[in-house]
Homo-oligomer: A and B are copies of this chain.
Amino acid sequence: MKDMLGRENIITAEKALDLVLQGLPERAIPVAVLELDEALGRILAADIVAAEDLPPFARSTVDGFAVKAADTFGASDTMPAYLDLDGEVFMGQAADMVLHKGCAVKIPTGGMLPEGADAVVMLEHVQAVDTVMLEIMKTAGPGANVIQPGEDAMKGSTVLKKGHWMRPQDIGACAGIGVTNITAFEKPVVSIISTGDEIIPPTSTPNVGQIRDVNSYLLKGLITGAGGKALRKGIFRDDYDQIRTAVEESMKDSDLVLVSGGTSVGTKDLIAGIISDIGSPGLLFHGISLKPGKPLIGGIIKGIPVFGLPGHPAAVSICFELFILPLLQRLSGRDEPAAGIYKPAVFARLAKNIASTQGREEHVRVQLEKREDGLWAVPVISKSGLITTMVKTDGTVVIPLSQNGIEQGTLVEVRLFR
């Protein structure tokens, strides 16, 4: 893509992502009903509403004595209140007595408050004078040590919203309100098309000049880990018809199509041409001001996003983080994700100066080292074509567009690899 003066139309990563997200049509995502035990990591397709109060009755949060708060007013170590012991509540059973003025009922943690009681005094603040009379050494305000009915979840309240990503605590909350099946969005399907005359499957032995496919395995792992379903569609030669057919076939069963490989300018232009030719709106950008990741191309064909990814594994990984991941979240039906406001990261001091070119966002891979004086990020500067460098590093430090480097010793945020 060139502008009117023939210059290449290279845009920022942020702008490129906006173009794709804004160009995506709204569409209905298929749903499935799942057992609660299968819900981990899935996205809710419908709100979860409490059908009843949780807890359904007032419960004590401590071992102690249920009382009328008013009966304890002013009670202290030196001026205890005296109450009559009048029964005991047992776990899992209804408190079928009524608490009368001047009386107390023994109650365990989690036990149901009897009618007439509005507070619990902890065991530690009560002394038995004899088998009936109790000394209460502490004032209990109304509601003290009590969870009210519906305090955890009120009947009719929305406990979890459509679009929510299910974590262990969300599964626990569903169990608590008796929701044992959930409606979830189906996982988005992502096709991976490997291209390159030199690429062979990992199961084959390379002839001279050939190299095994790394990127489709890296990508499948990243997609699976992010909650997508990855389909490897095979390895295709750098040929217009072969790749075009593979893209068109993949559009039939996928929500997103990735064309991996092709680091040379000729191959990139080939894939850009295919994205333009199959359908509108076609190519949206060709190259971004990002390192590594500059050769990324992207577009939308008949509502389906299609990317041509860089050939270097490190660049693939950065492009995944910046483009594929937000897109997958959108295609998953996920509401504004927590990851939208923060990324799992740690802070560390930079162990070496790093330089960068202004006007380009640069992602530098680092290794974390725990030293006597804290965590340090050691930049690993190497060719981005190496996969083993990624194996040795823990995350990346981002140098923004506007900066031309970061000095040694600076506190930096290290975005952790997933």
On chain B, the residues within 8 Å of A375 by CB distance are 341-342
Closest-CB distance, A24 to chain B (whole angstroms): 24
User: Chain B interface: which of A200-208, A247-255, A277-285?
Assistant: A200-208
Per-position contact with B for A153-166: 1 when CB-CB < 8 Å, else 0? 10000011000000
**Given A217-B175, A218-B169, A151:B386 Cβ within 8 A:** yes
Q: CB within 8 A of A170: which of B109, B177, B197, B391? A: B391
Q: Does A1 belong to the interface (CB within 8 Å)?
A: no
Contact status B94-A208, CB under 8 Å: yes
- Name the residue of chain B whose CB is nearest to the CB of A108: B264
Q: A311: which of B109, B152, B266 is its contact (CB, 8 Å)? A: B109
- Please determine whether B110 and A172 come into contact, CB atoms closer than 8 angstroms: no
CB distance from A396 to the nearest CB of B (A): 12
Q: Do A370 and B387 touch (CB < 8 A)?
A: no
- Count this chain's copies in the assembly: 2
- On whether the beta carbons of B218 and A205 are closer than 8 Å, the reply is no
Contact call A112/B203, Cβ cutoff below 8 A:
no
Looking at A55-63, A349-357, A398-406, the stretch in contact with chain B turns out to be A55-63
Give me the interface of A with B, judged by CB distance under 8 Å.
36-37, 40-41, 54-57, 59, 61, 63, 90-95, 108-112, 123, 147, 151-153, 159-160, 167-180, 196-199, 202-222, 224-225, 238, 263-266, 311, 313, 317, 338, 341-347, 368, 370, 375, 383, 385-391, 394, 413, 416-418
Can you sample 27 A-B contacts with CB below 8 Å? Answer: A40-B225, A54-B387, A63-B264, A63-B265, A91-B198, A94-B207, A108-B264, A112-B209, A147-B383, A147-B385, A152-B389, A168-B217, A168-B317, A169-B218, A169-B221, A169-B313, A171-B217, A171-B218, A171-B220, A172-B217, A172-B390, A173-B388, A173-B391, A175-B218, A177-B212, A178-B212, A180-B202
* 9 more A-B residue pairs beyond the given contacts A37-B217, A172-B214, A180-B202, with a C-beta to C-beta distance below 8 A: A92-B198, A94-B208, A168-B218, A168-B219, A169-B390, A170-B391, A171-B217, A172-B215, A172-B221
